[in-house]
Amino acid sequence: MRSELTLSEKPFEISKWEVWEAYERVKANKGAPGVDDVSLGEFEKDLKANLYKIWNRMSSGSYFPPPVKAVRIPKPQGGVRTLGVPNVGDRVAQTVVARRIEEKVEPIFHPDSYGYRPRRSALDAVAACRQRCWRYDWVVDLDVQAFFDSVDHDLMIKAVEANTDLPWVLLYVKRWLIAPMQQPDGSLQPRDRGTPQGSAVSPVLANLFLHYAFDTWMARTFPSVPFERYADDAMVHCASERQAHLVRQAIEDRMVEVGLRLHPDKTRIVYCKDTNRRGAHPDTSFTFLGYTFRPRGAKDRRGDVFTAFLPAVSKDALKRLSRTVRRWQIHRRSVTL
């Protein structure tokens, strides 16, 4: 059966099986409708025809992505984040390409890149950060300003070119990068930078861009300086305050070089203060992936109290969890009634 699914006389060799597996991943991830307002359930009413249309157009080179839908969601600490939500069918097409890119780049990615990768999680990144905060006294808390809106398309395409020999992968990445964003008023916003959050292909593209822009550059420039990166969130560990300032400035220059910018207020140098590290510094805490690291009271095996630099779930994360639990309770009551 599988051999029958892969037969094709199209210019690009994309199997129907790949499209089906991409659909299965989209189905598992669920997600909201795009600009066509077609839900996953509605898409599935004519599933065979819809998947065939995607396969036929992708394998013939005639697939052109529709605009993505601008959806604004509030940030925990104020402001809004704009997601670019693709149609269900476009998510399937993006997933076909994302899977092909992933199988090429996953083996080369840095071991301390944790975001959107198989068998890695935010908790793995937090655990690594916790251990390094015990060994290193200083942390550079990096905040890349508007990363997903600022990615340089030429550099992104160059990174993809270096990691695929499939013309159709590159062709469709180029088309997705410039697909316009439809605003709530119906107007179309052209895009010449960035890769929208919310798309199925953006996570691997973001990781690939930062693999070259940050990970491999750090490994070359500061081989003895460890870091954890989860998408565009990164923590860098330094042995001294002087080294932390040096590394911060070098990273800032590197970000400018690749078309990005560190947030001047949110990028900070933090001192990992505890019982054995008693120096004075204005910043002795940071939040990474929903966990706030700061000096906290702890007990050793004998019950003696001491101060350790430890993570705990942040107040913002607890508020979001409380809101989710309240929604569950309301849903349960409405179902019971």
| Beta sheet of 286-288, edge-to-edge order | 286-288, 291-299, 305-313
Which phi and psi angles does 255 have, rounded to 5°?
Answer: -60, -40
Summarize pLDDT for 82-109 with one digit per residue, the tens: 999 999 999 999 999 999 999 999 999 9
Summarize pLDDT for 148-168 with one digit per residue, the tens: 999 999 999 999 999 999 999
User: What is the C-alpha to C-alpha distance for residues 284 and 270, in angstroms, rounded to an integer?
Assistant: 5
Q: Which residues contact 99 (CB under 8 A, 6 or more apart)?
A: 18, 21, 22, 25
Mean pLDDT (the chain, rounded): 91
Instruction: Report percent pLDDT > 90 for the chain.
Output: 82
Look up residue 78 and give its amino acid.
G
| Beta sheet of 181-182, edge-to-edge order | 80-85, 68-74, 181-182, 188-189
The upper half-sphere exposure of residue 308, i.e. CA atoms within 13 Å in the direction of its Cβ, equals: 15
Summarize pLDDT for 277-335 with one digit per residue, the tens: 999 999 999 999 999 999 998 777 777 778 999 999 877 755 554 444 444 434 333 33
203-207, 232-236, 257-261, 314-318: the lowest-pLDDT one: 314-318
CATH T-level assignment (fold) for domain 2-324:
Alpha-Beta Plaits (3.30.70)
Q: Where are the domains of the chain?
A: 2-324
For position 319, what pLDDT does the model report? Answer: 59
284-303 core/surface letters (b: 16 or more CB in 10 A; e: else): bbbbbbbbbbbbeeeeeeee
User: What is the C-alpha to C-alpha distance for residues 199 and 87, in angstroms, rounded to an integer?
Assistant: 9
CB 142 within 8 A of CB 236: yes
The two structure tokens encoding residue 110? 């840095």
The model carries a pTM of 0.89
Strand positions, DSSP E, 66-220: 68-74, 80-85, 138-143, 181-182, 188-189
Mean pLDDT, rounded, for 181-185:
96
